[in-house]
Structure 1
């Protein structure tokens, strides 16, 4: 007679007794959700004292444990607020140059897990990234980590110092170059656009096409619509056609608070809107001592004798909440007459006083547009809700 064999139960790892055994089990089963989760919980129960042990394992190139970054993340993500200072200190201790590069790199990466908003930690990582005497891999990791952090205010502006680093050194170290531009792209909207634009100009015209490509991608992450024409006017624009078109697409699809545009950029934006509305020969310029004229254009109207040209002048006011008063509107009407224009358009992001609206209604040669009407017209013309007038932004 043949006896039936009992089915073998699925082998499961024995519960580790020591930290060494726990780390070994994690290296084998840590990525298995069912088996690994209890092991991760046991590791977290060891507390902050395990941080230098994990970093030391990296330093020695421990073959049994390759999940140091995941382990540190697990420990730091749910750290008690009262212990944050101690955890930061343990990591910063491992940044010293007396430690091997591998240990320092893992310590730098760990800062993004629990200290993304900590200005002191950001300052320390930025110092490593900007130090020309530092190891290239350490600097590259620091830049990668800064990209994941959330610097604000003055510290965010200090990221612009990245553009002052030795460009020739960047060309020798492609990963560092990519990390630097990635960091700036991630934080582009936190940076002062004028200073970023000035600092980026040498890269947009650099002899090396790789630097130009990365600079164009950065432009796409922060620039306003007024920068689009500059992109197409770059010396080597044809060689970067696809990258420029990609940057333009990003600029054109990004949500825009009209109040965040510089006055001259707002004027250019209104000019673009007028062009899409069918106005011809729209020109934006500084018409000094000419009644505040910001743009000129014309259109053709069907009259008794056929198509008749109608010249317009435009005035733009990018105000947050200040309403346009009657005196300002009256002055603009006088300018329409003085310029011998047929009609005038007054555009504002705010509103008009009752007197201003009543006066405008009595003028056949004047059209006024308030902020609310402007948003409605933008939706009608561009078929998108990406534009806003947010006074609290």
Structure 2
């Protein structure tokens, strides 16, 4: 294999293109938008969070989902209208619950491996993405949440990640601007934050310098894979053309399920909508009152990141509502209100709302590996940890393609941790 097509120009597609180009492959990246990182990689929570590696396949998630089902402003919202896709996804979600422990540990391992790769790539390519290495503080308002987090910390430690419990007094010492009453917290000093859009666009430029052909405005309409290559039909400006490649890597986010069906595979990715607001810190008082340490509020399922001096990102919630991309006012309002409660001196006069669809597999593990055809590969389904895991899974799939092409192992150092591989 020499010529590789990558479908998708988000964080997983761009990191995969970069990893393959570093190994000497001829890579063409196909993206339907005019630029890289214009969907889920545009305005996420900004966390590079190994401490958020806990998978959702736990009985407490189901209990909370049932409690919140009829509340429009709930952190987890499920549209009760049935569909076969949604029903099959939830059935597989429940079936994956016995693997909660091992999948959480494996995700933590993958996140730690990815972190060092991502930092190295940013250094090598001179990418400025507002990296802030101040750690992540998980905050809890009750004993039950705090004690569950302590159990999760033990799982994370099995995966190699250390985080420590902190008292309310220690929480305020870590982040003095935080207001409110809390039972306690858990602090991961090694976690960090940054701007995913700036990183992805910077790495896309680096990939082009390595010879990657980035073709934007390309809507993939058909694919045919065989033992000797893959034919990909794309449409641009109303005209269709067919390109032939030795192999294809599907990194298409929530579109991966449809792409996989074209290739004879089943990849049960579901689009789980998340929301964010970017608070523009236009005055000195707001800049002083906004946190520099990243937070995760377990009760509201919100995360924060400080992006440079003048932006404060708040993101979260999970909405199971198909491919609906509407930015709903009743889902944005709780994020703005949360800022007012926790950081009352931050002005929310200037706020930019956003919504994106996270590509989630039922077991919350990314699908990384081969398809049925020997020329088809997948790197998709990373859910809420796309940025956190992307550098590691890109390295894994690049080495998988290296092996398939009969070459020596490439430049990666990531051991192939447990990821979803079933067809």
Please, what TM-score do these two structures have when normalized by structure 1?
0.20
Higher share of residues assigned strand: 2
Q: Give the structure with higher Rg (CA).
A: 1
Query: RCO higher in 1 or 2 (8 Å CA, sep ≥ 6)?
Result: 2
Higher share of residues assigned helix: 1
Please, what TM-score do these two structures have when normalized by structure 2?
0.19
